[in-house]
Amino acid sequence: RSVVVIGKATQVYAQQAVAGGVIVGRPMGSGGGSSDVVPNYTVSPVDGLKSVLSALGNTAATVTLITVKDDNSDLNAAKAAAAAADAVVIMAGTIAEEGADRASFTDSTGLTLTALGDGLDWYVARPNTISTVTSNSPANSNTVAMIAGILGATSITAKPMTAKTALVLKDNAGVAMDPVLLGPGGPAILEVWFPGQEDGHIVADLLFGVVNPSGKLPVTFPKVGQGFLDWVRTDPSVFPGVRNLAGQPEVQYKEGLNIGYRWYDANGVTPAFPFGHGLSYTTFSMSNLSVTPKISDGTQPISIQFFLANTGTRAGAEAPQLYLGLPSQIGEPPKRLVAFSKVQLNPGERTSVQLTIDPAATNHPLSYWDVNTNNWKIAPGFYPIFVGSSSKDIALFGTALVGPRTSALEHGPGDNAMPLGWRNFFLDRLSAANGVCSATRGQRSRPTGSANSGRRRQGHEYATALRCTTVEVSPVWLSRALPRKQCGTRCRKPALRRDEAKSKGASSACHVHQRFSILVYI
């Protein structure tokens, strides 16, 4: 019957349709930037919610906008309205433009960092201009404190605050998530990036279930104080840079190959929401992984097949993601995304999905760059295979053995079939996740075209549901990795048992085999 939309008075997110460069109280297109557009019309959040409710047959519902000052001096009024409402929609986000980082510096050289703007509180009046202590200085919106205050209100309706509150984020990139937003005390979260002129309709369609979200995070959302940028800021040579001997600004990429989600994997850091994450109003399961061929010389494609099932009650789309690890001696990141596919399924439907690891593909899935020869190379060894709904939520595990074909490899494992280095499996230990699902494409939405419905559908496609209230624990794989020599299970002459072979002076006919890693699923 009643919906309240709450946002900051100094921020655009709850008040206007959002694209890059949008400014409070000014038409879209006033701020500039590559994603800023000058549309014929825009749909505000409140208008969009009203329109979709009406289309669903609820013409009696009221939708009220409440804005809160940066100092939260008027927060009590918003808390009271939220406590009495049937549904609460909080809108927040971040905006950045070309020409300036979301950070503040002592001066316009940008060489001395004073603050990072990786959270929901930091903002500046002109996102496309460098922020210093004297010009375009940053402000604190106290958005996180506002959200905490609303969630802490005492609901006077049938539902508790956490069950009737959704946080809609409109961001240009990943955001460091405060603990108050996570766990059982946090709200449902929907990331819609920059929806564009159809903002209000897009958000309402997703919130009210007209459209089932299926987006996937193209970036990692860290926890506050535990992100890549928190590590970066400890070393000025990494960010924002230092002057070299020639007096030129210089940045060193000390993270090496551990870029993006790879940094979190390599350092054992659990983010708030991992790369590839995204929820749905239905549920999915993956099963029956097969790898063909299991032994490859590194020149032919490797086919990864498995079943994907919609185990929920609504039609929806899932994007299974295929990650691949390289032999550990190469020194590459723990795993890399090599393929994915978005699959639409009806309730109860089950389908076979095939993803391919093609050595000839332009992303070189099996290769590493050899700095000595300046060329791509494929290392012999075991390649761990991970299939899941995000970089952290892995449902299926397999391996492929890659290397030059030898008679030993072709005829099965034997004494000399597997070099010692090949026994070193890389196994990624999976961590528990709070109701995390999956996602696909991950750029900012830049609606174009003449059809309003097309703009609206495009916004739906990019939106990513980040959090629900259920808690799902990811499967954990343990590796015993205990080689066992076993003689007598097979002989070069299958017709002879070991005792028979020995009695006939053919003891060499018994071939010693090794069994490698035993995987235990718990």
Domain ranges of the chain: 2-232+435-467, 284-431, 485-521
Match 């993601």 to its residue by tokens. 321
Q: What is the pLDDT of residues 55-114, one digit of tens each?
A: 999 999 999 999 999 999 999 999 999 999 999 999 999 988 878 889 999 999 999 999
For 381, left (φ over 0), alpha (ψ -120 to 50), or beta?
A: left
> Is 315 within 8 Å of 282 (Cβ atoms)?
yes
pLDDT, position 404:
75
What does each C-alpha distance from 382 to 249, 298, 418, 427, 446 come to in angstroms?
42, 12, 10, 11, 42
Residue 90 carries which DSSP code? Answer: E
What are 47's two structure tokens?
Answer: 């208008």
pLDDT, position 33:
65
Range 183-212 average pLDDT: 95
Look up the pTM and report it.
Answer: 0.80
Residue 306: its H or E element? strand 302-310
Which residues fall within 8 angstroms of residue 409, CB to CB, at 6 or more apart? 295, 401, 403, 417
Between helices 199-207 and 452-462, what is the axis angle to 10°?
50
Q: What is the pLDDT of residues 257-316, one digit of tens each?
A: 999 999 999 999 999 999 999 999 999 999 999 999 999 999 999 999 999 999 999 999
For residues 211 and 479, the model is more confident at 211
> Is 151 within 8 Å of 187 (Cβ atoms)?
yes
For residues 48 and 413, the model is more confident at 48
Range 21-39 average pLDDT: 78
Q: Which CATH number applies to 284-431?
A: 2.60.40.10
> Is 124 within 8 Å of 131 (Cβ atoms)?
yes
Task: Report which residue type is found at 165.
Answer: T
The CATH class that applies to domain 2-232+435-467 reads alpha beta
Q: What is the pLDDT of residues 328-339, one digit of tens each?
A: 999 999 999 999
| Nearest-angstrom CA–CA distance, 483 and 486 | 9
| Nearest-angstrom CA–CA distance, 483 and 278 | 39
| Nearest-angstrom CA–CA distance, 339 and 440 | 11
